[in-house]
Amino acid sequence: MSRPIWQFTAIVAVLTLLMGAAAPSGASAGAGADPVLLTEPFLQSPAKNSVRVVWLTEFAGRHHVVVVGDRAGELNRAELRAAATGGKIRGVRVFRARTGELSRVAEDAASQIPDPPAQITRRHIWRHEATVRGLGVGSRTPYRVVSIERGAMVASDTYTLAPAAAPGQAQKILLTSDHQLMPNTPANLQKAVETVGRIDAVFLAGDLVNIPDRASEWFDDQRGGAFFPALQGRASRTVNGVTWTGGEILQNAPIFPAIGNHEVQGRSGLPTLNESFNAPVPREVAEAAYRKVARQVNPRNNRKIKERWILENSFNTETYEEIFSLPTSGPGGERWYATTVGDVRLISLYATRIWRGTGIATDPANWQRTRYTEAPATTDDLLAQGWGSHIFEEIGVGSRQYRWLRREVASRQFRDAKYTVVMLHEGPHGLGDNVNPPFTDPMRTEQTDAAGNTLVRYDYPRADNVLTRDVAPLLESAGVNLVLNGHSHLWNRFTAGSGTHYLETSNVGNSYGAFHPLSGRSRPVPPAPWDPDNYLAQGNPGGLEPQVPTVAPLTDPAGTPLPFVQSNDYSVFSVLDTGTGEVTSYRYDMRTPDVAPVVLDRFPLSA
């Protein structure tokens, strides 16, 4: 976590006022019931001889420990209680956790929980983290977590943990993204484990949930497919008459995510979590709005109050950052980072923007907030406008993130790695709907109509796409082996002349389609006065041709192999095997649950 865990509660009072009602502090589900774990433990930040263990509860508790050793699974309740309260138990070691309350998570009327509250209501959830040290490289050790609340105890099942993989140690790394509680996600993860066996790490290219500040999407959405249950084998999602539990993955393998647009919460103080999520504005807009009210909201010019006001009136990734303990990059904190995972040097970038609709009313007086237009009634209010599909963190030449990336690909850790993987949510290449408009800052044009209304529209010059113009050339010149992205909910792959592979394997829980001559689908292109040359109706705006899967591609009715998977009947998962140096993608037909997944595509990473 970028923020020390004890600081979580420091902003709770401010956020309670901004978010609305609060549940009683310290309450847990079912007063008087035995305590339960909100998540099973999951692994974070493996190091040479250590790894962090994290779990969450709906009670603060007094004792939270990790019990590690060959006898961990044999201990009875009395021994577990003794271990948690300071006793010495033969055959195990005990590591105490630090605890802090998540500062932003809440529920509202749209939450899929029993008896959802009518308004945004804070949900009290505590996070516990212990660092397990003294681990042997290359070996796995059994462990459990124990939490005690008011004398009542709860313990997890027994799992195994390990420190960071050593160079040369073969790993199977799940490549995934865009889970978002979609119907097929639990099946996808369950089949991944059944097909490849133990997964050693997870690279997740963004969009873990839908609304990041809605607690139930992470933990216990009653539709059965919340983020943690699906990745911990505790889901319960029924598709085509089959109930899927997901895969027991995160208890035994560390996860390395990237930020997608669904990890970014918008402005606070709106009536619902959905409205808040859909209402971010660029930070510089919030700064301009702050200057107008600074004397009223911050008469003493307190720096922390200023920063908090700007954050609450622009956007933030605080819940994501509080849940995970990730490597830090310096300038980007946990929002972008680099780390070594065995033979892989992983770079995770923050490359995403607010998603807005495409509809443009024929009469400009009826324009609404979309990626291309503003509603005329809002143009005199800085914070009520959408500001187009604005980028959350600049990544083009000259930005902090680009300068950091340039240093990273020149670093010894990068140059010495057997394999190099760059992960980002929105990528330079793709056949999906979300490659429109080009990834660049919206170009704002203001006009006045005959009635005196201000009309605002946004253009996105294709030549200014920073992912294709700035980022891709840097990655290819550095010799990156694999660029993993998500966002469009489909499978497609491209290969640059340099040998760099671009893979989107986000046909996980559902698909939003491929836009290619073989699919027969076209992206919506804005009408005049927008320049149609900036917006591609079909194909890859990045210019590379999609690769046909090498093993078992799907075909069109004429039998032509398709260079994509874009079906809600299929779910695709991909695995990087560092022992063989290959990436293998599997497709699974949700309509035939008794038929095993088949290999769709396999390609080697040059090393």
Is residue 31's pLDDT more than 70? no
Q: What is the DSSP string of 462-475?
A: GGG-HIIIIIHHHH
Is residue 362's pLDDT more than 60? yes
Answer yes or no: are the C-beta atoms of 340 and 413 closer than 8 Å. Answer: yes
Can you read off the two tokens belonging to residue 230? 């699906």
State mean pLDDT over 1-18. 45
Neighbours of 311 (CB within 10 A): 16
pLDDT 10s digits, 87-127: 999 999 999 999 999 999 999 999 999 999 999 999 999 99
pLDDT 10s digits, 402-458: 999 999 999 999 999 999 999 999 999 999 999 999 999 999 999 999 999 999 999
Can you read off the two tokens belonging to residue 105? 């998570």
Q: State the Cα–Cα distance between residues 329 and 416, nearest whole angstrom.
A: 19
Can you read off the two tokens belonging to residue 25? 């502090």
Q: Is 52 in a helix, a strand, or coil?
A: strand
Q: State the Cα–Cα distance between residues 111 and 115, nearest whole angstrom.
A: 9
Residue identified by tokens 């709907």 is 433
Answer yes or no: are the C-beta atoms of 53 and 43 closer than 8 Å. Answer: yes
> Within 13 Å, how many C-alpha atoms sit on residue 114's CB side?
2
Q: State the Cα–Cα distance between residues 572 and 549, nearest whole angstrom.
A: 12
User: Model confidence at 219, in pLDDT bands (50, 70, 90)?
Assistant: very high
pLDDT score recorded for residue 468: 98
Q: What is the DSSP string of 85-119?
A: TT---TT-EEEEPEEEE-SS-EE-TTS-SSS--SS
Can you read off the two tokens belonging to residue 408? 């990273």
Answer yes or no: are the C-beta atoms of 232 and 255 closer than 8 Å. Answer: no
> Within 13 Å, how many C-alpha atoms sit on residue 522's CB side?
6
State mean pLDDT over 192-200. 98
Residue identified by tokens 């902003």 is 11
Give 161's contacts (C-beta < 8 A, 6+ positions apart): 43, 51, 53, 68, 132, 135, 140, 141, 143, 252
Answer yes or no: are the C-beta atoms of 405 and 565 closer than 8 Å. Answer: no
pLDDT score recorded for residue 606: 78
Is residue 11's pLDDT more than 60? no
Q: State the Cα–Cα distance between residues 188 and 176, nearest whole angstrom.
A: 10
State mean pLDDT over 469-480. 98
- Closest by CA to 267, choosing from 282, 256, 284, is 282
Q: State the Cα–Cα distance between residues 343 and 416, nearest whole angstrom.
A: 9
Q: State the Cα–Cα distance between residues 588 and 582, nearest whole angstrom.
A: 20
**Domains of the chain with bracketed CATH:** 1-164 (2.60.40.380)
Q: State the Cα–Cα distance between residues 474 and 409, nearest whole angstrom.
A: 9
The runs of H, that is alpha helices, within 184-317 are 185-196, 215-219, 227-231, 273-277, 283-297, 303-312
pLDDT 10s digits, 523-553: 999 999 999 999 999 999 999 999 999 999 9
- Closest by CA to 504, choosing from 480, 519, 487, is 487
State mean pLDDT over 229-257. 98
User: Model confidence at 330, in pLDDT bands (50, 70, 90)?
Assistant: confident
- Closest by CA to 278, choosing from 417, 421, 110, is 110
Total number of residues shown for the chain: 607
Strand partners, 571: 588
State mean pLDDT over 63-78. 97
User: Model confidence at 568, in pLDDT bands (50, 70, 90)?
Assistant: very high
Single-letter amino acid, residue 316: N
pLDDT 10s digits, 255-311: 999 999 999 999 999 999 999 999 999 999 999 999 999 999 999 999 999 999 999
pLDDT score recorded for residue 34: 83
pLDDT 10s digits, 264-277: 999 999 999 999 99
Q: Which run of H or of E encompasses 15?
A: helix 12-19
Q: What is the DSSP string of 334-391?
A: TSSEEEEETTEEEEE----B--------SSGGG--SSSSB--GGGTT-GGGS--SS-B
Strand partners, 142: 160
- Closest by CA to 495, choosing from 483, 505, 507, 486, is 483
State mean pLDDT over 202-226. 98
Is residue 18's pLDDT more than 70? no
Give 557's contacts (C-beta < 8 A, 6+ positions apart): none
Strand partners, 143: 68, 159
Per-residue three-class SS string for 151-208? CEEEECCCEEECCCCCCCCCCEEEEECCCCCCCCHHHHHHHHHHHHCCCCEEEECCCC
pLDDT 10s digits, 577-595: 999 999 999 999 999 999 9
- Closest by CA to 342, choosing from 202, 481, 199, 168, is 168
Is residue 2's pLDDT more than 50? no
pLDDT score recorded for residue 27: 35
Can you read off the two tokens belonging to residue 232? 């911990």
